[in-house]
Amino acid sequence: MFNANPTHRATATPEALFQLELLLQERAVDLAAVTDIVIKDAGLSTHVLHLAHDMGDMTEVIPSLQECIVEIGIEGLRESLRNARMRRRSN
């Protein structure tokens, strides 16, 4: 998962992206498991924080990563993974 804005480009490890992708393919996604993967990867944590901030609803307080993940939503995370995969293929 990468952000095109160079001022806050966050690079997640391929392992974390793969684990997240596997979780997000499940019919019922476990928020605690997703949060655990995000917390363990600094680049992914930064990316999630920026995504939540860019959505505009979480600017007044410092949210937890779990709150950010809920704000982004499963579809938002899936879309971010698709975008990251497309950028990797084009490089």
The DSSP annotation for the chain comes to ---S-GGG-----HHHHHHHHHHHTSSS--HHHHHHHHHH-HHHHHHHHHHHHHHSSS-SS---HHHHHHHHHHHHHHHHHHHHHHHHHH-
- Asked whether residue 84 carries a pLDDT value surpassing 90, the answer given is no
Q: How do residues 6-33 score in pLDDT, each as one tens digit?
A: 444 568 888 999 999 999 999 999 999 9
Task: Give residue 59's pLDDT.
Answer: 59
CA angle at residue 82 from 7 to 79, to 5 degrees?
Answer: 80
pLDDT tens digits for range 29-83:
999 999 999 999 999 999 898 888 887 765 567 788 999 999 899 999 999 888 8
